[in-house]
Amino acid sequence: MARIAMPRLSDSMEEGTVVNWLVGDGEQVARGQEFVEIETDKAQMPFEAEEDGVLRQLVPAGTTLAVGAAMAVIGDDEELAGGTEATSEPVEAPAESLTEAEGLPAGGPTVLAERGRVAASPVARRLADELGVELANVAGSGPGGRVVKDDVLRAAESASDGAPASDAPAAADPPSPASAPAADGGAKGAPTRVALSRLQQTVARRMAESRATIPDFSVSVDVDMEAALALRAALAERDVKVTVNDLLIRASAVALTRHPRVNGSYRDGHVETYARVNIGVAVASQEALVVPTVFDADRRRLTEIAAEVRRLAGAVRDGSITPPELAGGTFTISNLGMYGVAEFAGIVNPPQAAILCAGAAEPRAVPLPDGRCATRRVMRLTLVSDHRILYGADAAAFLAELRALLETPVAALA
Amino acid sequence: MSETVTYREAVVRAMADALAEDDTVFLLGEDVAAAGGVFKLTEGLQERFGARRVLDTPISETAIVGAAVGAATQGLRPVAEIMFADFVAVCFDQVANQLAKYRYMTGGQVTMPVTIRLVNGAGTGFGAQHSQAVENWFLNVSGLKIVAPATPADAYGLLRAAIADPDPVLVFEHKGLFNVRGALDGPAAGELGKAHVVREGSDVTVVATQMMRHRAEQAAQQLAGDGVEVELIDLRSLAPMDVPTVIASVEKTNRLVVVQEAAPSGSWGASLIARVLLDGFELLDAAPALVGCDDVPIPYAGPLEDAHLPSAGRIVDEIRAAMER
Amino acid sequence: MKTNRSSPETSPAGAGLAADQLLAMLRRMHEIRLFEDETHRLFAKGLVRGSTHLCQGQEAVAVGVCSALDRDGDTMLCTYRGHGAVLAKGAPLDRSFAEILGKADGLCGGKGGSMHLTDVSVGALGSFAIVGAHLPIAVGAAFAAMYRGSGAATACFFGDGSTNIGAFHEALNLAAVWKLPVLFVIENNLYGEYSPLASTTPIARLADRAASYGMPGEQVDGNDVEAVVACAGAAVARARAGEGPTLIEALTYRHKGHSRSDPATYRPEGELEEWMQRDPLLLTEAALRERGVDQAALDTLREQAAGDVAGALERAMSWPDPTPETRLEGVYA
């Protein structure tokens, strides 16, 4: 009889939600068969059984469990009838170093995870009980995702706010919308509350952490994109589809090989640089921002990069992106050019050294040496860097390199 | 209106007032009479009250405490001084086996209104055998009451209360605090077994005694500047220990930091934390913190002793860290 | 093997005691002897917990010294081998048995037991199980007497082995330096815990230790109750007169092994028999016969004592045990 624990599906995963069971409680399941769908902080994915047997679901769909917590049991009828005593070893607690790698606080509630409890402080637990709050549904703001008192109080408050006020003063005349506040709204009108999904919560938390802990600075450069756009047009005539972004990825990869520090990470007082250049490409999905990784971008041809980016974007759209595809990045590129954005400064994706933010390639009047003006399509690139790793000169040098590669694209292709 | 005195003056005043008000009170100890005490804690008392009431003894801790015990059986109220608290080890039997248990073992036939004053505390370079947090040695001995005043008001109030108490009381006077100035009157100063909330706050409960209470107070002021509001409690009594006051505070703050001048094992801080966990587990938002000394004897050299004892700065850091737990 | 000790010096002996006083002392000594014999049997039956320490053979020391403590307010402290001293000071037989049996109506409510018999109402301030610990406490009681000018005296009993522990030296020193009204009475029965005196103590005559503390040291035949009375009486008189403490070495012998749970396997051959002939009960009966009291009267006396002891034991046995809740009482006043 096998105890099935919430699996660790990614480096940073600390808990997962059972979205739905694909095999019913008490039904047969075969080795290799997908029997449950799990939502992690990065993706939603099915999980396969590793043995044959009858499935005993230990938690209902919608339950959030810490990694390693008991989720199901697969055994034969006799064993299950005799109780759900786990005979296999519990899933090992996530390694601290990997947790740190994702920039999340190390040392989560691993002991609790093994016993299947939501990590919550004693007072949080008691209040949840008293206020009728389901701990499993509360996002924890404490260390390691622990649910603390304030989390429970907020959850209780938001639950009660949804109900219409019962003590609205009765007015003699119906109040005019402009003068009297509605009993259930106020000046802004009735609020619609949308809870953040697990993924959105993760993004929110990581962005806040990044902002709070990383001393960042921005350096911008304007790139003359005429040559790059001419290259793209030339390829398109041969039915080879590449985007400006693909070229940006390729050029950045080459530049990173020449400026390895920009490809690095800050860790506990030292800088790590890596042999591989894995560029994360920010993609807007339905509900959040995800950053699939183009691995070894420096070793792929432009067309391979283009194909890979298309594939990854498609996987994000249809929800089939996997955690490994969302991890391992050493550098991130975010491009808002398709929205006509001129420039923007994003937030460094920890623990990476920098993020490259690209605006649209817009026509601009550019002075020529002889005093006349020409119209060139110019794209502003902004590099937001972690000042613990990169100094102004480093960022500037990288951008200069990148600009040179983009303005003479054959150099990037070589 | 209360006058301002030093801790030392408060101690002398307490004994003077007790001697004046009750003829059964007498003082004994090494160099307490003619010399007024090595720390001048009994200065002028023999001159004022005479050699019958204030007596110098030989260097005989066992005889000092034993004589106090015997005198108490006959209805006197002895106040015995142990010059350096560490010396109580010499007469540990008299304190732990005789004084603490005499009433109980005789089925209540004797009463032991004995006060033993002991000078404890580190930070002044007296070294490993003259600086220990001896108050911790007796936590597990039933039958004793233990107090550790931090302020002049408490030095006066708790000593008066101890002398008036019908049971054995060990009063620890910290040698690093003798020149601290303060009002002679203080809140609840005259009550054994009662802690004092020095400063109210809503973010974290910090409990300390004696020297550490003063350093924690500095730490609290610094943290207030950063928006962390510390509720500071001076525990004052180690036996009995005012756990309810601490629990009431943790109910408000949900976080506990204990600061003590001792290593964790067998210490009042560890005992207090255990009690809060037992009685108030569901009040805590995070594990409590115990800020104390390393498990080594107290070293002599200044930099070593300074590093050994929690400084106000370290207390600030530890409270901050506790807020992140 | 002969006992290797000098014979006791004769001190102005008991010519001063009237027959009725001596009879009263004999009766008290019988009570003690019989009480100890009964306790011996109770222990064998498993009715006494832990261990018990008996003093058969040493009765004259306790009775003699306690008779000299003849004023209200006089106090006495003794060791864990103190049943005799506590009875001699006036504690009731039945409540003493009851305490040894752990009864609720024992002297200490069952809280102390055999080693801690205490009856403050008769001046028996306690029996102490830490060797030497009560000597400084006796000094404190004597201090209180001086402090109040009450004229009361304190006696404390302890064994020969106690003269080697720190508390002995501190207590004698302080008592002497403050000239306190206390009698330090050594019941020298030749043996410390389990070892003969000579192996633990470098001097032969313990009374000589008094000289180190500037106080008189008297050696007395501990089995001659009249000699003990005279010696103790003189010491008490000195104490009351403000002349300070006295060290008394009473030479005696214990009939049974050190603690009940160990037989006396370490005595040299013949030693016991020699001393049995000097049994204080026998010596006192002889002294009374010399004063004209006939044997029949002496036998009656003994029977009365036996009757009192038996009755006391019967009462004590019938009394209830303490309830568990009472263990929480009496820590603080």
Q: Which CATH number fits domain B196-324: 3.30.379.10, 3.40.50.920, 1.25.40.420, 2.60.120.330?
A: 3.40.50.920
Same domain, A395 and A270: yes
Handedness of CA C259, C265, C270, C273 (dihedral sign): positive
Strands A279-281, A293-294: parallel, antiparallel or unpaired by DSSP? Answer: antiparallel
Residue spans of the domains in chain C: they are 17-264
Distance (Å, whole) CA C254 – CA C273: 12
- Who's near A216: CB < 8 A, 6+ residues apart? A347, A348, A384, A385, A386, A387
Query: pLDDT band for position C91 (50/70/90)?
Result: very high
pLDDT single digits (tens) A312-364: 999 888 888 887 888 889 999 999 998 999 999 999 988 899 999 999 999 99
Query: A158, A179, A203: which is the final residue of a domain?
Result: A158
pLDDT single digits (tens) C120-163: 999 999 999 999 999 999 999 999 999 999 999 999 999 998 99
Distance (Å, whole) CA A92 – CA A89: 8
Query: pLDDT band for position B8 (50/70/90)?
Result: very high
Measured between CB atoms, does B202 come within 8 Å of chain A? no
> Would you name the residues of A annotated as active-site residues?
387
Same domain, A337 and A374: yes
Residue C50: left if φ>0, alpha if ψ -120 to 50, beta else—which one?
left
Instruction: Give the pTM.
Output: 0.66
For residue A123, give the nearest of B282, B324, B325 by CB distance: B282
Query: pLDDT band for position A188 (50/70/90)?
Result: confident
Q: In this predicted model, which residue has the larger pLDDT, A401 or C51?
A: A401
* Contact (Cβ atoms closer than 8 angstroms) between residue B199 and residue B175: no
Quote the DSSP letter at residue A327.
Answer: S
Taking an 8 Å cut-off on Cβ atoms, the answer to whether C125 and B142 are in contact is no
In percent, the amount of chain B with pLDDT more than 70 equals: 99
Q: Is residue A153 assigned to a domain?
A: yes
pLDDT single digits (tens) C163-216: 999 999 999 999 999 999 999 999 998 765 566 777 888 999 999 999 999 999
- Who's near C89: CB < 8 A, 6+ residues apart? C66, C69, C76, C119, C122, C123, C124
pLDDT for residue A249 = 95
**What average pLDDT does this structure show over C245-269?**
75
Measured between CB atoms, does B78 come within 8 Å of chain C? yes
Sheet strand arrangement including A28-29? A2-5, A70-75, A53-57, A28-29
Measured between CB atoms, does A143 come within 8 Å of chain B? yes
Least confident span in A23-37, A172-186, A355-369: A172-186
Least confident span in A316-320, B269-273, C246-250: A316-320
- Residues of chain C in contact with residue B110, where contact means CB-CB under 8 angstroms, are 118, 120, 125-126
Which residue in chain C has the smallest CA separation from B165?
C333
Task: Give me the CATH number covering residue A135.
Answer: 4.10.320.10
**What average pLDDT does this structure show over B21-39?**
97
Handedness of CA A399, A404, A407, A410 (dihedral sign): negative
Q: Is residue A165 assigned to a domain?
A: no
Q: Is residue A305 assigned to a domain?
A: yes
Touch C-B: 3+ C-beta pairs under 8 A:
yes
* Percent of residues in chain B assigned helix, strand, coil, to nearest 5: 40, 20, 40
Distance (Å, whole) CA B156 – CA B187: 12
Average pLDDT, chain B: 96
Average pLDDT, chain A: 82
pLDDT for residue A98 = 37
Task: Give me the CATH number covering residue A44.
Answer: 2.40.50.100
Same domain, A252 and A395: yes
State the smallest CA–CA distance between residue B45 and chain C in angstroms: 17
Least confident span in A139-143, B4-8, C253-257: C253-257
Helix boundaries (H) for A132-267: 149-161, 198-213, 226-237, 244-258
Q: Is residue A205 assigned to a domain?
A: no
Measured between CB atoms, does B105 come within 8 Å of chain A? no
CATH architecture of C17-264: 3-Layer(aba) Sandwich (3.40)
pLDDT for residue C160 = 92
pLDDT for residue B301 = 93
Same domain, A252 and A317: yes
Handedness of CA A342, A347, A351, A354 (dihedral sign): positive
* Contact (Cβ atoms closer than 8 angstroms) between residue B49 and residue B19: yes
Distance (Å, whole) CA B129 – CA B127: 6
Distance (Å, whole) CA C204 – CA C202: 7
- Who's near B161: CB < 8 A, 6+ residues apart? B147, B169, B190, B191, B192
Residue to mutate among B73, B101, B144, with most C CBs inside 10 A, is B73
Residue to mutate among B250, B285, B320, with most A CBs inside 10 A, is B285
Query: pLDDT band for position A143 (50/70/90)?
Result: confident
Taking an 8 Å cut-off on Cβ atoms, the answer to whether C128 and B98 are in contact is yes
Measured between CB atoms, does B324 come within 8 Å of chain A? yes
**What average pLDDT does this structure show over C274-283?**
92
Least confident span in A83-97, B38-52, B177-191, B305-319: A83-97
Measured between CB atoms, does B193 come within 8 Å of chain C? no
Distance (Å, whole) CA C44 – CA C47: 8
Taking an 8 Å cut-off on Cβ atoms, the answer to whether B286 and A126 are in contact is no
**Which tokens hold the place of C41?**
């049997």
Q: Is residue A178 assigned to a domain?
A: no
pLDDT for residue C264 = 55
Same domain, A408 and A316: yes
Measured between CB atoms, does B70 come within 8 Å of chain C? yes
Q: What radius of gyration do chain A's Cα atoms show?
A: 26
Which residue in chain A has the smallest CA separation from B324?
A143
Query: pLDDT band for position C223 (50/70/90)?
Result: very high
Measured between CB atoms, does B284 come within 8 Å of chain A? yes
For residue A124, give the nearest of B285, B324, B325 by CB distance: B285
pLDDT for residue A2 = 84
Same domain, A32 and A77: yes
Taking an 8 Å cut-off on Cβ atoms, the answer to whether B283 and A122 are in contact is yes
**Residue B127: φ, ψ to 5°:** 85, 180
Handedness of CA C276, C278, C280, C283 (dihedral sign): positive
State the smallest CA–CA distance between residue A119 and chain B in angstroms: 11
Is residue C315 over pLDDT 90? yes
CA C10 from chain centre, in angstroms, equals: 21
The string of DSSP codes covering B2-47 is --EEEHHHHHHHHHHHHHHH-TTEEEEETTSSTT--TTSTTTTHHH
Q: Is residue A110 assigned to a domain?
A: no
**What average pLDDT does this structure show over A17-30?**
92
pLDDT for residue A399 = 95
Coil, strand or helix at B305: helix
In percent, the amount of chain B with pLDDT more than 90 equals: 97
* Contact (Cβ atoms closer than 8 angstroms) between residue C183 and residue C236: yes
For residue C108, give the nearest of B68, B73, B105 by CB distance: B105
Domain that includes residue A402, residue range: 211-413
pLDDT for residue C58 = 96
State the smallest CA–CA distance between residue C106 and chain B in angstroms: 9
Residue burial A1-33, b: 16+ Cβ < 10 Å; e: rest: bbbbbbbbbbbbbbbbbbbebbbeeeeebeeee
Measured between CB atoms, does B117 come within 8 Å of chain C? no
Q: Is residue A278 assigned to a domain?
A: yes
pLDDT single digits (tens) A67-109: 878 899 998 877 776 544 444 433 333 343 333 333 333 333 4
* Contact (Cβ atoms closer than 8 angstroms) between residue B162 and residue B115: yes
**What average pLDDT does this structure show over B148-156?**
97
Residue spans of the domains in chain B: they are 4-183, 196-324
Which residue in chain B has the smallest CA separation from A149?
B285
pLDDT for residue A185 = 54
Taking an 8 Å cut-off on Cβ atoms, the answer to whether B286 and A124 are in contact is no
- Can you tell me the ipTM of this complex? 0.91
Same domain, A47 and A133: no
CATH architecture of B4-183: 3-Layer(aba) Sandwich (3.40)
Closest CA to C182 of C147, C154, C163, C141: C154
Measured between CB atoms, does B323 come within 8 Å of chain A? no
Which residue in chain B has the smallest CA separation from C147?
B52
Is residue A409 over pLDDT 60? yes
pLDDT for residue A103 = 37
Residue to mutate among C170, C180, C183, C329, with most B CBs inside 10 A, is C170
Taking an 8 Å cut-off on Cβ atoms, the answer to whether C108 and B103 are in contact is no
pLDDT single digits (tens) B68-92: 999 999 999 999 999 999 999 999 9
For residue A125, give the nearest of B254, B282, B325 by CB distance: B282
Number of domains within chain A: 3
**What average pLDDT does this structure show over A228-251?**
93
Same domain, A95 and A146: no
Taking an 8 Å cut-off on Cβ atoms, the answer to whether B286 and A125 are in contact is no
Q: Is residue A176 assigned to a domain?
A: no
Same domain, A99 and A60: yes
Closest CA to B49 of B18, B80, B20: B20
- Residues of chain B in contact with residue C125, where contact means CB-CB under 8 angstroms, are 70, 73, 110
pLDDT for residue A269 = 77
- Paired strand residues for B27: B54, B79
Chains linked to C by 3 or more Cβ pairs within 8 Å: B
Q: In this predicted model, which residue has the larger pLDDT, A369 or C263?
A: A369
In percent, the amount of chain A with pLDDT more than 90 equals: 45
pLDDT for residue C262 = 55
Which residue in chain B has the smallest CA separation from A130?
B282
- Who's near A151: CB < 8 A, 6+ residues apart? A124, A138, A139, A140, A141, A142
pLDDT for residue A304 = 93
Taking an 8 Å cut-off on Cβ atoms, the answer to whether B70 and C106 are in contact is no
